[in-house]
Amino acid sequence: MSYILDSIYLDKSLTITSTSDKQDLSTSFDTVIGSEITYTPNNFGVNVVYEYNTVWSYKDSTSKLIFRLTEYNAGTSSWDVIDGSYVTLKSLKNGTGLINYKYAQQKWVGSKQLRLECKDSTTSLEGYLHSNWSQDKYYNPSVECTTI
């Protein structure tokens, strides 16, 4: 049996950021390297999907990372948290894992700046972004927005 998927992807924008070091997180939210994108949706789409890809590794014996998506508010010159965008990742094992953060929202009119923020949940559950467990390889994160 085969399936034909009738998906329409319009105006996909992709950015890959070169990095040669890990991102050491703290217990305060900070911008995730390579996660910022400015995007204008296609007029014919209904939704916009924000997608971010990188790797993470534990710093302690386990790690618990909290992510949230934010948008720039030109009126207040601040970054506002997008409702429903929080995601928590927890690892009970040593090693490295892939991160694929996706968030779909209704499209907007005009241009919008989006970025992902992340923090360690506590000082005993810390992690790194963009590096493997042994800290000898670094991975270039990618961010994209797509109108669907």
**Structure confidence by residue, pLDDT tens digits, 32-62:** 999 999 999 998 889 999 999 999 988 877 8
State how far the Cα of 50 lies from the Cα of 37, in Å rounded to an integer.
Answer: 9
pLDDT number for residue 45: 87
Domain that holds residue 92: 16-147
The answer to the question of residue 3 being in a domain is: no
Asked, for residue 29, whether it belongs to a domain, the answer is yes
Tell whether the model's pLDDT for residue 74 goes beyond 90: yes
Kindly state the average pLDDT of the residues 73-97: 90
Q: Is the pLDDT of residue 94 over 80?
A: no
- 34 contact partners, CB below 8 Å, separation of at least 6: 15, 16, 17, 19, 52, 54, 130, 140, 141, 142, 143
Which CATH number do you get for residue 122?
A: 2.60.120.1340
User: What pairs with residue 114 in β-bridges?
Assistant: 37, 71
* The overall pTM is greater than 0.85: yes
Residue-level pLDDT at 141: 97
Is 6 contained in some domain?
no
Q: How many domains does the chain have?
A: 1
25 lies in some domain = yes
